[in-house]
Chain A
Amino acid sequence: MSIAAAKQSSKTGWIAGLMLAVLFVFSLCVGVGDMPIIRLFSDGRVLELLLVSRLPRTLAAILTGAGLAIAGLIMQTLARNRYVEPATAGTAQSAELGILLVTLLLPSASLLFKSLAASAAALLGTTLFLMTAHRLPPTQPFLVPLFGLVYGGVIGAAVTFVAWQADLLQYLSVWTNGDFSGVLRGRYELLWLGALMVVIAWIVADRLTIMALGRDASIGLGLDYARMLQLGLVIVSVISALSVVVVGMIPFVGLVVPNIVSRLMGDNIRGTLPFVAASGAILVLGCDILGRLIRHPYEIPVGTVMGCVGGLIFLWLLFRRPSHV
C-alpha cells in the first residue's frame, strides 16, 4: 500500500469506527422498554434491560452484519465475480433447506444441531454453485450472477415446495426474512462462531487476495488452491448458515458492502477486510435501528428494511460513475 493510500485508509477507518460507535450507543438507547441512561447504575432494572435485551440485540446486529459482508467478500473472491452473494447464489437457500429438513425429521433438535445441519447444507449448495460457476466462460462475467440467481431460485423453490407440503410456509418466514426481535441474552451467542470465521478470514486474507487472481496464477504463486477453496467455502457456509438460523436471511449486505469498499479502497483483502466488516455492521445495525423506529413500538423486520435500503444502494452502485478505474 502506498503512503497516500495508507493515509486514505486510516481516515476512512476513523470515519467507519466513529459511525459504528455512534450507532452502537444509539442502538442501546432505542427500544420499547424505558431505559433512562442516568439511572443505568443506580437502578438495577435498567442495567438488567440493557444486559438482557439491548446489548445482545446490538451485538447480534453487528456480528451478523460483519459476518455477512465478509461472507459476500469471500464468495466474490472465490467466484471471481463481483455480483454474487450468499443470499442470492444458493448458500442461504441451501441453509434454509437444511433447517427445514431437520425441522421435519427431528423436530426437537437443538439450535446448535440445526446450525450444524444448515451449515452442512450450505456447504454442499455453495460447493455445487462454485463448481458450476468455474466452468462458465470468464469472458461472460454476468453469466455467474445470473446462474447464481437461477440456482438460488431453484433451491428456494424447493424449500417453498417442501414447506408448502408440510404447511410450514409461515414458519419458513422466520428464516427467510431476517429479524432481530427475538434476540435476547442466551439466544444469539452462536453468532460469535461467525466472528471466529471473520478472524480466520483475516488470518488468511493475503492468500485470499492471491486467489482472486484465479486458479492458475495462484498455484503458480505457490498457493494450495484446493485447500484455500475449501477453507473459503467453510467460512462462507458457516457464517451464512448461522445468520439464517439465528436471525434469518438478510439480503444485499454481502453484495453492496464489498463492492463499495473495493471501489473506495481497492482489492487488497488484508487492507479492506476490516472496513468490509465494519461497513457491514454499520449497514445492518442502522437498518435494524430504522426498523425499530419507523413503527415504534412495533417492529419492521431488518430483512424488509434492508431490502429497500440495500436495493437503493445497489442501484446507486450501478449508476454511479467509478471515481477511479
Chain B
Amino acid sequence: MNLRTIAAFAAFAFSALPAHAVDILTAKGLVQIAVSPTKIAVLDIAALDTLDRLGIKPAGVPQKLYLPQLEPLKQGAEIVGDLFEPDLEALSALGPDLIIVGGRSSTKASATAQVVQTIDMTMDGDDLVAQAKERLAAYGVLFGKTAEAASAVEELDARIKAAKAAIAGKGNGLIIMTNGPKVTAYGPGSRFGWVHAALNLPAAVPDIEAANHGEAISFEFIAKANPDWLLVLDRAAAIGSGEQGAKTTLDNELVAETTAWKKNQVIYLPAAEFYIAAGGVQSIQRVVATIAEAFTAAR
C-alpha cells in the first residue's frame, strides 16, 4: 500500500464521520451515537411522549399508543410491533438510523439491536423526574433541540414547584393500584415512588417494599393505614378496558372509614400517563397537574 492510497483511505474515513458524533446518557450509561439520526423508530410510550414535546416525529411507532394525545404520531409512520414484541421485519423494512426502547420494550433491546443501533431509555423508581430531565437533555443533544429541551425542563420544574407548594402541610398519601376487585399498594422506592420523592408527599405507610406490581393488600390495610389522601391508579382504565372502575372497588365500608374517603380526598390519577407513559415529560406534567389541582382544592 503506498502513501497515496493511505491518504485516500484517511480522507474517506474522515468524510464518512458524521458532522457530530455524540455521547448521550441512556439507562445503560453513556452511548456513542455515530450518525446523527433522522429516521428513528420508538418502542416506548414515555420516549414518544417526550419526543413529541420536542416536536420530533418518529418514522416507526408501536401499534398501540395508549395516550390519545399521541395518536397524530401514527400519521405517516410505520407500525413496528408493540411494546412487548417489536416487529423485527417491519423494523428492517423501515431501515431506521436508531431505535429507542425503554421500560416494557427494554428487554427486547438486544433483538432490535440486530436491525440497527438501539438505545435503552428506561426510567423508573424514586428519581423518575431527574431521569426524565436527563432523557430530555439527551434527546435535545441528539436531535439538535437543546433550547427546546431546556425550556421543557424549566416548565416541568415550575409545575413541580407549584405542586409541592399545594401539597405541603396537607397530610400524607397512599398510592394504590386497583386491578378489578383487587388492590396493591406502592410506597417510596417503588415504580411510583417518585410522587413521594419529587413532590414531598409524606407516605402514609413508609415501608412498603418495592414490588413491581405493588404489594397485594386487603381493604383492612387501607383502613388501618388511614391515609389523608388516596392516590388511585385504575389499571383497567390504563389499558383502556371498560372494566369495573376503581371507584366501584374502593366504595366499601372499610375504605369509607379513611380520612381520604371522608374528606373526599381520593385522587384518580390519569391512568395511561401514570402507568404506561411514566417518565414522559408531558405525562409527568399531567399527573403532577392532577395532583396539584386536587390538593389546591382541599381546604
Which positions in A face B, CB cutoff 8 Å? 31-34, 48-49, 52-53, 103-104, 107-108, 166-168, 170-171, 173-174, 179, 181-182, 184-187, 292, 295, 297-301
Contact = CB atoms under 8 A, between A and B. Distances in A.
Contacts of A32: 217-218, 220-221, 223-224
Interface string B213-255: 1011111110110000000000110011111000001001110
Q: Which 9 A-B pairs have the closest CB atoms?
A: A107-B242, A182-B181, A32-B220, A298-B215, A33-B220, A174-B180, A299-B216, A32-B221, A181-B218
Contacts of B170: none
Nearest to B221: A32
Contacts of B176: none
Give the dominant DSSP class at A's interface: loop
A299 B218 contact: yes
A129 B153 CA distance: 61
Contacts of A179: 182, 216
B236 A297 contact: no
Given A33-B220, A53-B220, A107-B243, 17 more contacts: A31-B218, A32-B218, A32-B223, A103-B243, A107-B242, A108-B242, A170-B179, A174-B180, A181-B219, A182-B180, A182-B181, A182-B182, A182-B183, A298-B208, A298-B215, A298-B217, A299-B217
Nearest to B205: A297
Nearest to B82: A167
Interface in B179-207: 179-183, 185
B53 interface: no
A189 B236 CA distance: 24
25 contacts: A32-B220, A32-B224, A33-B224, A33-B254, A53-B254, A103-B241, A107-B241, A108-B242, A166-B241, A167-B64, A167-B240, A170-B179, A170-B213, A171-B179, A171-B180, A174-B179, A174-B182, A181-B216, A181-B218, A182-B180, A182-B219, A187-B252, A292-B218, A298-B216, A301-B216
Contacts of B254: 33, 49, 52-53, 184
Contacts of A33: 220, 223-224, 254
Interface in B93-135: none
Contacts of B217: 32, 181, 297-299
Interface in B36-69: 64
A225 to B, nearest CB: 40
A167 B182 contact: no
B124 to A, nearest CB: 17
A48 B252 CA distance: 13
Contacts of A167: 64, 239-241
A292 B217 CA distance: 9
A170 B275 CA distance: 13
Nearest to A297: B221
A186 B253 CA distance: 10
A171 B218 contact: no
A104 B215 CA distance: 27
**Which of B185, B216, B217, B220 counts the most chain A CB atoms within 10 A?**
B220
Contacts of A185: 253
Contacts of A187: 181, 252
B277 to A, nearest CB: 15
A8 B215 CA distance: 45
A185 B219 CA distance: 12
A30 B86 CA distance: 46
A174 B219 CA distance: 16
A191 to B, nearest CB: 14
A285 B78 CA distance: 53
A31 B220 CA distance: 7
